[in-house]
Amino acid sequence: MIMRGILLYLVLLGSIIAGYVNCIHAQTQSMDSPKAYWWKGNLQTQSYWSDGDQMPEEVCLWYKENGFHFVALSDHDRPPVGEMWKEIGVVDNQHNISPMVHPRIIEKYRQKYGKDWVETREHDGRTEVRLKPVEEFGPLLSESQRFLVMPSHQIYSQAEDENGRAHSTNPGVAWLDIANSVSPITAGRGDPSDALQQTVDRVQQIADSTGREMLLGLAHPNYAWQLTVDDIVGIDGLRFMEIYTGLAQCNSNGDSLRCSVERMWDILLTRRLAELDKPVIYALASDDAHTFLPIEGTPNWGKPGRGWIMVRAKYLTPESLFRAMQRGDFYASSGVTLKDIQYGERSLSVSIQGEAGVTYTTQYIGTRTGYDPTSRPVLDESGQPLRSTRRYSDQIGQILYESRELESKYSLAGDEIYVRARIVSDRPHPDPSWNGQTKAAWTQPIVPR
């Protein structure tokens, strides 16, 4: 009787231990292998740290309250870290409010955050407010697997003019966003391609030496019509480029003399893959927002929410997001949402999150081997060559297949150099960057192995 009781006890104890082990194993599996999610984010936006019109915590809060999961505060020349004070304006309704904090902005700031948070001082006869760095205000907004604030900053390559002078308005200047950066980076200097290559190399060197995951993206190549395909095509280490930027001044759609940035992308993909044996450049979209809470009488030209990226990753961390992007597991959007993208070795599939009453067209775009590689210069009104991306054959970046279904698939025929998808809605963009703009999304290209 006693022996049977002991055996029963051992059996029960074994069951308990086995259950406990299985429970621990299940929890470990859950932590080690979470589901991959689509995270919505923006890698280019400005605050009072440079030429935005809002306090940095309010800028990032806008994205959190409007359905974004991550944002990189990419103010000019330096990341939002360390000490920074900005003058408070004394004249209400000043036209250009970015050089100074608007008096009504600071009033709302005090009301919302309180005197213990808002720091001001008198300095050289001016009243200044201390701008909070990311390490201070980020913890107020960041939530694990919900919202992430990253430091960033934007620099421009020091492209020299014919007299050897470098200026931000020079032809050939490249603007670059460096996400998750915490120290200023000195840009390279020289002719357009040399200055850009030096800058890309320096960013990579800093990332390697610090062990910090950073992501470098070429911003708005058509801003002030500064860059051409020839400036960009041979750059090593450049893997990301904006093909849509919300600011109208960035000229994403091109004009009669200059091609769109999306067209530039097709030329770059074709030439890098087929002629230069270089890897693809992936497509980004951003709003490049500068004006968040417009006040009557002040500018309202750089509003947020026009463009973004969707990254498929398991964790909402810079490392997880950037590594997914390095694999090309993300898409760019100006308003169209996708359910799924499947990148196969021989196919590309797209599933759209449709809206009622909206028609979508999915265009599978690519270049086939044997394309015409010749090009010709663009001429100005006087017949002289214009500093612009040359005109290439329509065989580069042609529509290979088109579908009006919410789910579609393109199977490679075998002669494609690359294939990507553009998904266009017939719904007008609510805040267009050019006349007639509709919502769209862009997948990354697949390259046949």
CATH number, domain of 245, equals 3.20.20.140
The domain boundary residue, chosen from 71, 101, 130 = 130
On whether both 273 and 124 belong to a single domain, the answer is no
- Model confidence at 122: pLDDT above 50: yes
On whether both 202 and 243 belong to a single domain, the answer is yes
Task: Tell me if 12 is assigned to some domain.
Answer: no
Q: What is the pTM of this model?
A: 0.91
On whether both 266 and 404 belong to a single domain, the answer is yes
On whether both 47 and 95 belong to a single domain, the answer is no
The whole-number pLDDT of residue 28 equals 32
Task: Tell me if 185 is assigned to some domain.
Answer: yes
At 229-280, the pLDDT tens digits run: 999 999 999 999 999 999 999 999 999 999 999 999 999 999 999 999 999 9
- Model confidence at 437: pLDDT above 50: yes
Give mean pLDDT, residues 13-35.
Answer: 42
The whole-number pLDDT of residue 97 equals 61
The dihedral region occupied by 272, where left means phi > 0, alpha psi between -120 and 50, and beta the remainder, is alpha
- Model confidence at 300: pLDDT above 90: no
On whether both 343 and 223 belong to a single domain, the answer is yes
- Model confidence at 7: pLDDT above 70: no
pLDDT category of residue 94 using cuts at 50, 70 and 90: low
pLDDT category of residue 24 using cuts at 50, 70 and 90: very low
On whether both 90 and 239 belong to a single domain, the answer is no
On whether both 273 and 220 belong to a single domain, the answer is yes
Q: Dump the DSSP string for 245-304.
A: ES-GGG-TT--SSS--HHHHHHHHHHHHHHTS-----EEEEE--B--SS--TTS---S-S
The domain boundary residue, chosen from 130, 163, 187 = 130
Task: Tell me if 447 is assigned to some domain.
Answer: no
Please count the structural domains in the chain: 2
On whether both 143 and 224 belong to a single domain, the answer is yes
Beta-carbon contacts of 1 under 8 Å, excluding residues fewer than 6 positions away, are none
pLDDT category of residue 412 using cuts at 50, 70 and 90: very high
Structure tokens at 353: 């999150």
On whether both 169 and 181 belong to a single domain, the answer is yes
Is the torsion defined by CA of 42, 45, 48, 52 positive or negative?
negative
Task: Tell me if 404 is assigned to some domain.
Answer: yes
On whether both 374 and 425 belong to a single domain, the answer is yes
The whole-number pLDDT of residue 99 equals 85
- Model confidence at 430: pLDDT above 70: yes
- Model confidence at 301: pLDDT above 50: yes
The whole-number pLDDT of residue 21 equals 36
Q: Domain range spanning residue 125?
A: 85-130
- Rounded to 5 degrees, φ, ψ at 61 are -65, -35
Q: Which residues are paired to 226 by β-bridges? A: none
Give mean pLDDT, residues 282-306.
Answer: 88
Kindly state the percentage of the chain with pLDDT values over 90: 86
- Of 171, 237, 169, 180, nearest in space to 213 by CA: 180
Give mean pLDDT, residues 418-429.
Answer: 97
Q: Is 216 helix (H, G, I), strand (E, B) or coil?
A: strand
The burial class, CB within 10 Å (0-12 / 13-18 / 19+), for 32 is exposed
pLDDT category of residue 446 using cuts at 50, 70 and 90: very high
Q: Dump the DSSP string for 28-95.
A: HHHHHSPPPEEEEEES-B--TTTT-SS-HHHHHHHHHHTT-SEEEE--BSS-S-S--EEEBPSSTT-S
pLDDT category of residue 30 using cuts at 50, 70 and 90: very low
The pairing of beta strand 407-411 with beta strand 375-376: unpaired
On whether both 169 and 209 belong to a single domain, the answer is yes
On whether both 403 and 429 belong to a single domain, the answer is yes
Task: Tell me if 211 is assigned to some domain.
Answer: yes
Task: Tell me if 366 is assigned to some domain.
Answer: yes
Task: Tell me if 242 is assigned to some domain.
Answer: yes
Task: Tell me if 21 is assigned to some domain.
Answer: no
Instruction: Quote the CA–CA distance of 41 and 333 in Å, as a whole number.
Output: 10
Instruction: Quote the CA–CA distance of 374 and 18 in Å, as a whole number.
Output: 70
